[in-house]
Structure 1
Amino acid sequence: MKAWLLKDFGLSNLHLEEVPTPVPQPGELLVKVGAVSLNFRDKATVDEPHRVRKPLIPVPDAAGMVVKVGEGVSRFKPGDRVNSALYSRWIDGPPGPNEPDYCLGMPLPGGLAEYMIIHEESAVKAPDMMSDEQASTLPIAALTAWYSLMDIGNLQSGQTVLVQGTGGVSIFAAQIAAAHGARIIATSSSDANLAKVKALGVSEGINYKTHPNWEQKVLELTEGNGVDITIDVAGGNGLNQSVAATKVAGIITQVGFLTGQTSALNLMPLIFRQTTIRGIAVAPRTSFERMNPFLDKHKIKPVIDRVYAFEEAVQAYEHLARGPFGKVVVRIAD
């Protein structure tokens, strides 16, 4: 089969080559990959040194068809369409201490190939209403948004949610929150992108270039109270602004680190506002299985900025680095 192999760190070391097609072992599925989608994690995997066995087939987020099953498989059969899940062993409940050791796409082989192995216990039935390109956007971006809002945030109709930027997680969060009857405030550096997200159900948009103290604008829009839930994708010292923009005893779900992996956090506002900051590293399989019927019921379609051909994976990564509106997808098979 053809597969993209990361032989060392840096995009120049990602090469398309012929490798043996994997054989499913007991409990495993051999999946013909239809499409994969890229996340900021994938850029970090390529750009930053990690202790992984190289060459590595990157990208965990995939959708495709089961073509062969290993001994003892009972949850799926050949012909079923499935999604991968980032964590191959996190099925339900809280994560174990070593879940990152069993992530697809790094350190385990991912889906940027014609075929991939997925264990039947981590696979999820792909939504019938979605193409492989659409379904491939769900495993990290949509599921992170869902888990943040519904499982951790316990979002209620009528509450207010703040989303940062217009990447995959933020757009899914806006779509899910709007479908659940929440009010959404979005930040972005682009007025054009703010106009686009308003069409998806966002109530108010704040350009953080025009309003660098954007947390004050959030407070103005919420009668000084702040939002119920903040989806923070930026990280860095901007976390202090997220604390200020979130209501007393509100929740910040920390899902990204676009502006920095460290933060000089001002503790006094955090303490006196009694803010909960919860780190989010996607979600278990059971959360995925709760999300898909909701997406189906509310006819939520993923926002895809562009679909690239399999041979154009490097260009897809370059597009990701520029900051897409929504998701960047690579079609593996027609």
Structure 2
Amino acid sequence: MNTYAQWTLPTTDGIHSLELDENIPVSSLPPLGDGDVLVNIKAAALNYRELVIAKGTVPGTIKPSIVPCSDGSGIVQAVGKDVSDFKPGDQVLTHMCPHIPSTQPPLFPEISAGLGQNEHGTLRQLGTFHHSALVPTPANVSHEEGCTLTCSGLTAYNALFGLRGKEVKAGDWVLVQGTGGVSIAALQFAVAAGANVVATTSSKEKAERLKGLGAREVVNYRTDSSWGITARTFTPENCGFDLIVDIAGDESLPQSLAAIRADGAVVVAGILGDSAAETVPMLGCLWQGCIVRGLFLGARQQFREMVKFVEEKDVHPIVDEKVFEMKEARQAFEYLEQRKHFSKVVIRVS
């Protein structure tokens, strides 16, 4: 390989700001730092974060001409002299937030400083990353499947297993909302752990797909304005769910609080709902006697634990049926923006 391709955002005026350069000389890559790893990126997955960065509406700064995307899977090409945990030929996944201790959960400042916003991301065929931005790829997954684990997979894993004493176990009842990446990963992980999962969606077609992935019951949140109460009726003696993965924030929290059991946990892992929804008073968790926990992603050590879980349970992350090629990145962004996808939107990079 004498040249490689990458996408950048010279401006942040929207998806049309994305620019592709297909003939960057490999010789133009900077010298490898002592703690750096050169990766041939094979696949990248999109998050809603990529859309708000492209539009310049994400909180915090954006590095000029940033290479977008945080989620990637690839093969190590070379390592710096101080790198001992990776070698050429290893398959790796990216972690969005490098340069922090392996046990530290990222918060918003670390995410703002991370890949795709203030460090060049994964929408490029060759990329240099600090070794702390990488973890081994599960042995049982493809590059397309693996790249979905960086954000959605790790968030879902943290939601289910990250609260000490409340880890999801066989026989528990779990509610997941919608068919985006976090929700589908949470459904797959919870089913793999032996939990009973109820899901929500807005269409009959998606409901059938959710049942095919192991959901016991599915509730249509578009036609049922009290879907939280309806979902609760599926739990034994109408007692409510042990854990709920809430991805819509203020819009869905009232429903989540109606569905949770006493001493259960509602994990707020997204804000994809109506931004004009009325803020839910947190005294709601007092009336329900439950825990409400917010989180971003998960620590790098937790990522490594998830890799082992995926291997041991032979979980294969779900990728949307439409996989895009490198030249089609703009179309992939538009597809995500239009919410046509099921689970994760993936781009084949190399």
Q: Same fold (TM over 0.5)?
A: yes
1:326 to 1:55, Cα distance in 2 relative to 1, 3 A: same
Distance 2:112 2:243 in 1: 30
Partner of 1:186: 199
TM-score, scaled relative to structure 2: 0.90
Equivalent residues of 1:240, 1:266 under 8 A apart: no
Distance 1:126 1:200 in 2: 23
* Residue 345 of structure 2 corresponds to residue 328 of structure 1: yes
Does residue 236 of structure 1 match 2:240?
no
Cα distance in 1 between the residues matched to 2:268 and 2:7: 31
Superposed CA deviations along residues 263-313 of structure 1, whole A, max 9, x for unmatched, are: 511344321212222111100111111111211122211111121110000
Q: Which runs of 5+ in 2 are unaligned?
A: none
Q: Report sequence identity in percent.
A: 33
Q: Given that residues 106 and 297 in structure 2 are in contact (C-alpha distance below 8 angstroms), is that contact kept between their aligned partners in structure 1?
A: no
Contact 1:22 1:30 in 2 (8 A): no
* Larger mean Cα displacement after TM superposition, 130-139 or 270-279: 270-279
1:102-181 alignment, distance < 5 Å? 102-152=113-163, 153-181=166-194
One-letter amino acid of the structure 2 residue matched with residue 258 of structure 1: L
Partners of 2:203 and 2:94 in 1: CA distance: 33
Q: Tell me the equivalent position of 1:310.
A: 326
Q: Distance in 2 between matches of 1:96 and 1:48?
A: 20
* 1:204-219 matched pairs, under 5 angstroms: 204-219=217-232
The residue type equivalent to 1:117 in the other structure is T
Q: Which moved more, 1:230-239 or 1:53-62?
A: 230-239
d(CA) in 2 for partners of 1:263, 1:113: 40
Larger mean Cα displacement after TM superposition, 164-173 or 10-19: 10-19
Between 1:128-137 and 1:95-104, the stretch displaced more is: 95-104
Structure 1 position 49, deviation (Å): 2.5
Note the 1:219-258 alignment, pairs <5 A.
Answer: 219-222=232-235, 223-258=237-272
Contact 2:197 2:216 in 1 (8 A): yes
Moved more, 187-196 or 318-327: 318-327
CA 1:60/1:257 → structure 2, altered by over 3 Å: closer, same or farther? same
The more displaced of 81-90 and 199-208 is 81-90
* Cα separation, partners in 2 of 1:36 and 1:96, compared to 1, 3 Å: closer
Provide structure 1 residue ranges, at least 5 long, that are not aligned to the other structure.
none
3-state SS of 1:136 partner: helix
In structure 2, what is the equivalent of residue 276 of structure 1?
291
Amino acid of the structure 1 residue aligned with 2:323 = V
Shift of residue 150, structure 1, vs aligned partner: 0.9
Contact 2:106–2:296 at 8 Å: present in 1 too?
no
Cα distance in 2, alignment partners of residues 129 and 39 from structure 1: 23
Report what 2:75 is aligned to: 65
Q: In the TM superposition, what is the alpha-carbon distance from 1:94 to its structure 2 partner?
A: 4.2
1:295 corresponds to 2:310 = yes
Tell me whether 126-135 or 193-202 shows the greater mean CA deviation: 126-135
Match of 2:53 among 34, 45, 48: 45
Match of 1:31 in 2: 39
* C-alpha distance in 2 between matches for 1:281 and 1:157: 25
Using the TM superposition, give the Cα deviation of residue 101 of structure 1 relative to its aligned residue in structure 2, in angstroms.
Answer: 4.5
Kindly state the Cα deviation for residue 68 of structure 1 after the two structures are TM-superposed. 1.5
DSSP 3-state at the match of 1:290: helix
Larger displacement relative to structure 2 (232-241 or 208-217): 232-241
Q: CA RMSD in A?
A: 1.7
